[in-house]
Structure 1
Amino acid sequence: MLSNDLKILLQDGLVVPAHPTALTKNLDLDERRQRALSRYYLEAGSGGLAIGVHTSQFGIRQAGLYSPVLELAKEEMDNHCKHSNERVFRIAGVLGNTKQATKEAKKASELGYHAVLLSLATLKKQSNSELIEHCKAVAEIMPVIGFYLQPSVGGRVLDTEFWRKFSQIENVVAIKMAPFDRYHTIDVVRGVAESGRYNDIALYTGNDDNIVADLLTVYHIPVGGRLVKKRIVGGLLGHWAVWNKKAVELYDKIRNANRSDYGDLLTHGIKVTDSNAAFFDSRNGFQGSIAGIHEVLIRQGLLESNNTIDPNERLSPGQKAEIDRVYRLYPELNDDRFVAENLDKWLQ
């Protein structure tokens, strides 16, 4: 179970980048650059890190890199907290069948992670009841953050009934909503509202195509003759793996916004979404999403080359030109100067 201070931290809302994995050309872990990425996010002001998740490449498990990336991030978070006196919320991605997921949850627990982000992407044919039993098994080991991964990158459709029953699991503490679909996002919020545990579960956007609007929205869900009001308090996003300093600044603006600011923020949000279309390769069904994130980090000097475990994870034709375009159109969104000023220090 989460301690009260960690519950407050999570429910108050955080910027949580989904942490990429830095690989050498031989597909070994590039420890120096992996540490530099963690340092970048933490010094940019992120309130948490998510390790071993989709942006990290699910294939790190087969490559024997799951434990090493969790261990390196733990060391960097420990060091940051020691010198800054800040709390950092620590999230480890887990997936696979119940045996694998519980094994990964135990590893995360041993390393002092606070919660696991539970992907159901590999459980394509299981019924709702089978999925719930799987989730309960993981929740017996660690606090659980649900993960609605969009079907176009390997996820599955999960209905309101599933999210209602999932939210009733006592050790579920949050849900990352990333179906990239407004209808499916509402399904999650409805399920949480109808579960009776809506005050205990923090909602985080993973909808990289709708970040600003998600963070500005308060949902009004009628439940049994009363109105449940629920808002998305933070983000756990692959998009925030790049230009992270500016993401933190934007999040702070949204948190402190008056209604008169909403118009300008929504206009800004369209720029963010357009940038995400280039990074995530939306025009090609998101096939280049991981490679697009890497491409930006290469331009900033944080990664050396675009190495991925899956040989099919490559930039799509025209994707590099799209990234050029959003760099040119929206210079106010990048944090290249911040990275350049600190890169040598992070790479030491």
Structure 2
Amino acid sequence: MLKKVIKELLHEGTVIPAHPLALISDRKLDEKRQRALTRYYIEAGAGGIAVGVHTTQFEIRDPQFDLYEKVLTIAMEEIAKANVQNSFIKIAGICGPVEQAIREAKFSKEIGYDLGLLSMGGLNDLSEDELISRTERIAEIIPVFGFYLQPSVGGRVFSYNFWSRFADIPNVYGIKIAPFNRYHSFDVVRAVCNSKRNDEIALYTGNDDNIINDLLTTYRIKSGDQTVEKKIVGGLLGHWSVWTKRVVDVFEEIKKARDQDLIPAELLTVGQEITDANAAFFDPKNDFKGSIAGINEVLTRQGLLKGNWCLLEKEKLSPGQAEEIDRVYADYPHLHDDEFVKNNLKKWLS
């Protein structure tokens, strides 16, 4: 079962960055900067972090790197030092075949993570029935946060029936909707609204191309003879691992607008600016090949990382991507938090 205070935070809605991986030039862990990143997210006002996910690089699990347990442990140590354990949502990325996923779930639960973000990526040989069975087994170990990952980066398209069955699994408390597709996103919302566990499941956007619209929309879904209203209450996003202080500021504006049921047109404009910035970071024109390096590049420019290196040499900025990041930095100075980082970086690196 999910702790009551964490469940309340999850349903209230918050900013959850997907935690990157800090490396030095020989592609080994930069522990000082790995810790600094966690400190940055806490002090920027994020309500949680997700570690061991796509932005952290799935390769941390490979035997040649063997960083999964190390990286998850470092984040928990920094959360403990900040004394925010009971008011901060701690999410561990869980992936792979059943036995691997079970090992990761047990380890994450043991060291204090609240939920496991369960990826279905890289499991195209498994049927939907088998993936539901896998989810049920993980949910017996740790509360589950579902993850609809876009096909361009290793996910796949799932049926409405899959999400309907997924939502009915006890100990599922959240779903990250990230297919980068409005039709597929709607399938998840409709499935949850029609589930007897609707009130137990918080929906979070992972659609980096549609963040603000997702967060401003109230869905009205017919369920039998009733109309069910559901919001995507927060976000769990790789995009939110950069410029995080400003992300938190904008999210607070969104929450106020939702409470007042009055959406300022300016928020919609900011939403499109954020989508444009995301295109520079995530590299969609090259099928997202530079997405992790793009995030790392922004953090490098701020001094949080030493370089944009990834564990695999092939993971790097695409041609022209650095120039696109230059452009969005110049076009949207109100979206970055460089001054906040500059004022605190020495402390985070100490």
Structure 1 and Structure 2 fold alike (TM over 0.5) = yes
CA distance in 1, matches of 2:160, 2:262: 34
User: Shift of residue 255 of structure 1?
Assistant: 0.1
In structure 2, list runs of 5 or more residues that go unmatched. none
CA distance in 2, matches of 1:309, 1:344: 26
The secondary structure found in structure 2 opposite 1:303 is: coil
Q: State yes or no: 1:4 paired with 2:4.
A: yes
User: Shift of residue 5 of structure 1?
Assistant: 1.6
Say if 1:213 and 1:269, in contact at 8 Å, map to a contact too.
yes
Partner of 2:216: 216
CA RMSD of aligned residues (A): 1.0
User: Shift of residue 86 of structure 1?
Assistant: 6.3
Partner of 1:134: 134
User: Shift of residue 259 of structure 1?
Assistant: 4.5
Partner of 1:347: 349
Which residue of 76, 80, 83 maps to 2:82? Answer: 80
Q: Which amino acid aligns with 1:297?
A: L
Partner of 1:182: 182
Partner of 1:50: 50
Q: Which amino acid aligns with 1:125?
A: D
Say if 2:50 and 2:91, in contact at 8 Å, map to a contact too.
yes
Q: In the TM superposition, what whole-angstrom CA distance separates every residue of 1:242-284 from its partner, at most 9, and x where no partner exists? A: 0000000000000001454431101110000000000000111
Q: Which amino acid aligns with 1:256?
A: K
CA distance in 1, matches of 2:86, 2:133: 36
Q: In the TM superposition, what whole-angstrom CA distance separates every residue of 1:72-117 from its partner, at most 9, and x where no partner exists? A: 00000111126xx861110000000000001000000111000000
Partner of 1:303: 305
Say if 1:81 and 1:88, in contact at 8 Å, map to a contact too.
no
Q: Which amino acid aligns with 1:65?
A: L
Partner of 1:96: 96
CA distance in 1, matches of 2:229, 2:315: 40
Say if 1:243 and 1:336, in contact at 8 Å, map to a contact too.
yes
CA distance in 1, matches of 2:66, 2:25: 16
The secondary structure found in structure 1 opposite 2:39 is: helix
The secondary structure found in structure 1 opposite 2:200 is: coil
Partner of 1:247: 247
Q: In the TM superposition, what whole-angstrom CA distance separates every residue of 1:24-68 from its partner, at most 9, and x where no partner exists? A: 222221100000000000000000010000000000110100000
Write the mapping of 1:219-238 to structure 2, written as runs, cut at 5 A.
Answer: 219-238=219-238
The secondary structure found in structure 1 opposite 2:220 is: strand
Q: In the TM superposition, what whole-angstrom CA distance separates every residue of 1:217-246 from its partner, at most 9, and x where no partner exists? A: 011111112111110000000000000000
User: Shift of residue 125 of structure 1?
Assistant: 2.5
Tell me the TM-score normalized by structure 1.
0.98
User: Shift of residue 196 of structure 1?
Assistant: 1.6
Partner of 2:150: 150
- In the alignment of these two chains, the number of paired residues is 346
CA distance in 1, matches of 2:92, 2:250: 25
Residues 106 and 294 (structure 1), Cα distance of their counterparts in 2 relative to 1, 3 Å cut: same
Which residue of 317, 320, 323 maps to 1:321? Answer: 323
Say if 2:5 and 2:86, in contact at 8 Å, map to a contact too.
no
Partner of 2:122: 122
CA distance in 2, matches of 1:86, 1:328: 39
CA distance in 1, matches of 2:279, 2:249: 21
Tell me the TM-score normalized by structure 2.
0.97
User: Shift of residue 182 of structure 1?
Assistant: 0.3
Q: State yes or no: 1:165 paired with 2:162.
A: no
Say if 2:6 and 2:88, in contact at 8 Å, map to a contact too.
no
Say if 1:27 and 1:307, in contact at 8 Å, map to a contact too.
yes
Say if 2:5 and 2:87, in contact at 8 Å, map to a contact too.
no
In structure 1, list runs of 5 or more residues that go unmatched. none
